[in-house]
Amino acid sequence: MRYVGRMGRFLPLALAIAAASSTVPVDSAQALAVSVLGTAKGIPAAPVSSLLVRGDRLYVGTRGMGLYLHDLKGGRSVRVTREDGLPSDDVTSLALFQGKVYAATSAGIAVSDGGAWSIYRRAGEVRLNNAILGVSPDGAELWAGAVHLSGGTVRFDGKEWAFIGGEGRGLFNTIDSFAFYPGGVILGAQSGAVYLRKGDAIEAIGDGFPQANVFAVAERGGTIYAGTSAGLFLFRGKTWEKATVPDAASAGAVYAFVRSGADLFVGGSKGLLLLDRKGNARFLSGERGFPQGAVTALAVGDGAVYAATEKGVAVIREWHD
């Protein structure tokens, strides 16, 4: 069942970048640089669920092959598995919270500050299996959505876990993406809804939401973005609408977002989309060294964008102004 409520504009349109209104192709004159970290660099061909950049280290979470720690300067990779302290080799999400790396897996969340891994398997009655993580911009809160029957949505302040909803009782067992705006949290439900939480109030938002699964959510300049199995949708205070993007990117699912300043990068089944700060939409797939096909996870760091593809992790520099 999908519940869609009504809500007015929750933020002013602070930036003139709310919609991708034009469809500008990748400019061949740009100094776009693409490299791919693949098997030759110790990055597996396994499906990549999540990416995290911390200093000179790239963390690559895989579905079934554990966690890979890649030295961006030295070029070496180290694999971390159950034998090294992870609850499972099936990594679902990564986050950096209060100086520690959190690796969510199918059997709990592993935490490390560079040494041994400790494990959270429960937060109260919620089993932390298959969780998706999100960290508030101020670094004060870690949110986790554990997507299964005895799961739910919880919040962690570094000391205690707080129950938000779920635990076998409805849609909050299907929250698998988070985004943040001043004073609140955006929650994407895999079952097909987007919620806003402000204080203790939670409300599903918007008319016109597609009959589709939600894989990722983002916020920029007062606009909410939803990545769904039916493509990219925007909410600007009245109703959901399909984003205007280049034709090559318009079909297919959207799996991931990452912001770099006012630029928003979008990973989907067709490739990588950039909605830049000037309101332009640019698309990259199968050209200039970037692999063709799906982008399943994104991260930013050290002036680069990292995109998980079927050929490895693509590193893109100098694409946005």
- Sheet order of strands, 223-228 included: 214-220, 223-228, 231-235, 240-242
Q: Evaluate if residue 139 carries a pLDDT over 90.
A: yes
Q: What is the per-residue pLDDT for 319?
A: 87
Phi, psi of 83 (to 5 degrees): -65, -20
Residue 260 has what pLDDT?
93
Mean pLDDT over residues 59-74, rounded? 96
Residue written as token pair 């409300």? 203
Find the helix or strand (DSSP H, E) in which 95 lies.
strand 91-97
184: region left, alpha or beta (phi > 0 left; psi from -120 to 50 alpha)? beta
- How far apart CA 13 and CA 10 sit, in angstroms, is 10
DSSP string, 141-184: -EEEEE-STT-EEEEE-SS-EEEEEETTSSGGGSEEEEEEETTE
**Lowest mean pLDDT, pick from 92-106, 126-140, 148-162:** 148-162
Q: Whole-angstrom Cα distance, residue 224 to residue 234?
A: 6
What does the longest C-alpha to C-alpha distance in the chain come to?
A: 55
* The Cα angle at residue 300 between residues 155 and 224, in degrees rounded to 5: 55
pLDDT at 18 > cutoff 60: no
Structure-token pair, residue 237: 């205070």
Express each pLDDT in 156-177 by its tens digit. 999 999 988 865 555 578 899 9
> Which residue do the tokens 């000391």 mark?
159
| Cβ–Cβ under 8 Å, residues 109 and 87 | yes
Query: What was the pLDDT predicted at 13?
Result: 31
How does residue 320 score in pLDDT terms, banded at 50, 70 and 90? low
Neighbouring CB atoms inside 10 A of 102's CB total 22
Cβ 304 vs Cβ 315: under 8 Å: yes
Cβ–Cβ < 8 Å for 254, 245: no
230: three-class secondary structure by DSSP: coil
Rounded Cα distance, 220 and 222, in Å:
6
Distance CA 174, CA 302 (A): 33
Predicted pLDDT at 274 = 96
For residues 70-98, average pLDDT: 96
pLDDT in tens, 186-227: 999 998 999 999 887 888 887 899 999 999 999 999 999 999
Q: Count of residues for the chain?
A: 321
Distance, CA of 317 to CA of 101 (rounded, Å): 25
Other Cβ atoms closer than 10 A to 168: 13
Whether the CB-CB separation of 209 and 194 falls below 8 Å is answered with: yes
What pLDDT does residue 14 have? 31
Tokens, residue 216? 């990722």
* CA 306 vs CA 33, 177, 180, 222: distances in Å: 12, 19, 21, 25
The pTM for the full model equals: 0.89
Out of 10-19, 113-122, 236-245, 265-274, least confident range? 10-19
